[in-house]
């Protein structure tokens, strides 16, 4: 579903989860936030507003926490969010993982945040742990590439991205 | 062990890969990866590639897409003449904008832009800030043409050395292999 049917229907970023939406209104807000127009910095804060309302109405739906974390992350890194937004990002990913430990994207996003927000040693430990749980997953190799880049191991990072042997 | 991102999932958005290739100085490969990952951030990173290739005017509208760090304003006000008061003001704002986040990789790119427009002190401050919480800026700084104007300064060499020390510190971790 996640790799075939949903992208074909034009919803490439929906995360499948063991948690299920319990509020129609919250789920509708979440689905509205998945519109591609919200993946631009000009509309990032609008997406955050939708998703904050969604998780307030239904705090048990993990994909909504992951989605708000992704938008917080963009605001922290490329907008006007700063450290406060970074903290919100980490809390949102943590909440998503607490509700659904199988949300791989929440784990890999946390790894990259640790690598580029001053916890490089921790990110190496976490990427190994995540790789053990999800062997042979491209997302984990991509996150590992980011961690290696932060460590100045550029050739090793390129090995993880390796395009030429695709 | 040799499983890699692209082989495992050819459709995955590979943002970190094109950023990596810019760090490696492999701009052709960065362009290839950017084409595979259309979006606002990748377009901004194409702007970063274009500046490194010397196509500054072409880069400007692409840099404008991401407001954080004020790269667009910095280039607009400081390139090719960084001696104006307006440039001094914008360079200060750009540095402050980068420092308002704690994202060390953004600081690296901010430092590169400051160096490109000849604002050595701001570039060194951002590089130093990125290095302190363990972003290993070496060998990226050696492969990045935007640092050419400040490469021979004592301050640059000091912060470069900190990058070498950082890389050495994490060398054992870099030998880790995952499945």
A15 Ramachandran zone, left/alpha/beta (phi>0; psi -120 to 50)? beta
Of A78, A128, A132, the CB nearest to B68: A78
User: What is the ipTM score, two decimals?
Assistant: 0.93
pLDDT computed for residue B3 by the predictor: 46
pLDDT tens digits, B3-41? 455 556 655 666 679 999 999 999 999 999 999 888 899
Q: Do A161 and B17 touch (CB under 8 A)?
A: yes
pLDDT computed for residue A82 by the predictor: 82
pLDDT computed for residue B16 by the predictor: 76
Interface subset of A 44-103, CB within 8 angstroms of B: 76-83, 86
CA distance A113 to B135: 12
pLDDT computed for residue A163 by the predictor: 42
Single pTM value for the model:
0.91
- Average confidence (pLDDT) over A11-39: 87
Interface subset of B 66-85, CB within 8 angstroms of A: 66-69
SS3 per-residue string spanning A5-72? HHHHCCCCCCCCCCCCCCCHHHHHHHHHHCCHHHCCHHHHHHHHHHHHHHHHHCCCCHHHHHHHHHHH
Tell whether B12 is within 8 A of chain A (Cβ): yes
Of A76, A131, A145, the CB nearest to B103: A76
CA distance B91 to B69: 10
pLDDT tens digits, B76-89? 999 999 999 999 99
Tell whether B22 is within 8 A of chain A (Cβ): no
pLDDT computed for residue B9 by the predictor: 63
How far, CA to CA in Å, does B34 sit from each of A42, B13, B28, B62, B99? 21, 9, 10, 13, 26
- CA torsion B130→B34→A77→A161, rounded to 10°? -60
Q: How far is A165 from chain B (nearest CA, A)?
A: 7
Residue A150: closest C-alpha in chain B: B135
């Amino acid at each position: 579903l996640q790799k075939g049917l949903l992208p074909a229907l034009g919803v490439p970023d929906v995360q499948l989860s063991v948690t299920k939406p319990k509020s129609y209104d919250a789920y509708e807000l979440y689905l509205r936030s998945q519109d591609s127009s919200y993946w631009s910095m000009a509309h990032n804060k609008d997406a955050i507003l939708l998703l904050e309302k969604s998780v307030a109405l239904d705090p048990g739906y993990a994909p909504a926490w992951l989605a708000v974390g992704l938008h917080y992350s963009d605001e922290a890194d490329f907008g006007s969010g700063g450290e406060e937004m970074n903290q919100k990002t980490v809390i949102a990913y943590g909440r998503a993982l607490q509700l659904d430990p199988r949300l791989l994207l929440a784990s890999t996003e946390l790894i990259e945040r640790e690598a580029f927000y001053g916890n490089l040693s921790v990110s190496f430990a976490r990427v190994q742990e995540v790789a053990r749980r999800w062997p042979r997953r491209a997302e984990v190799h991509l996150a590992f590439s980011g961690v290696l880049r932060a460590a100045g191991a550029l050739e090793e990072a390129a090995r993880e991205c390796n395009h030429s042997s695709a | 062990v040799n499983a890699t991102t692209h082989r495992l999932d050819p459709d995955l958005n590979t943002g970190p890969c094109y950023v990596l290739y810019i760090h490696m100085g492999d701009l052709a490969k960065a362009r290839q990866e950017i084409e595979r990952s259309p979006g606002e951030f990748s377009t901004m990173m194409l702007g970063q590639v274009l500046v490194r290739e010397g196509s500054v005017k072409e880069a400007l509208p692409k840099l404008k897409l991401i407001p954080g760090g004020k790269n667009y304003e910095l280039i607009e006000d400081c390139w090719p003449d960084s001696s104006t008061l307006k440039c001094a003001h914008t360079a200060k704002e750009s540095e402050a904008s980068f420092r308002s986040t704690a994202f060390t990789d953004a600081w690296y790119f901010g430092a590169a832009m400051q160096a490109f427009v000849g604002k050595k002190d701001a570039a060194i401050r951002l590089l130093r800030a990125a290095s302190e919480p363990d972003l290993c800026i070496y060998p990226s700084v050696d492969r990045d043409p935007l640092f050419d104007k400040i490469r021979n300064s004592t301050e640059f060499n000091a912060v470069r050395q900190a990058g070498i020390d950082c890389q050495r510190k994490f060398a054992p971790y870099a030998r880790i292999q995952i499945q």
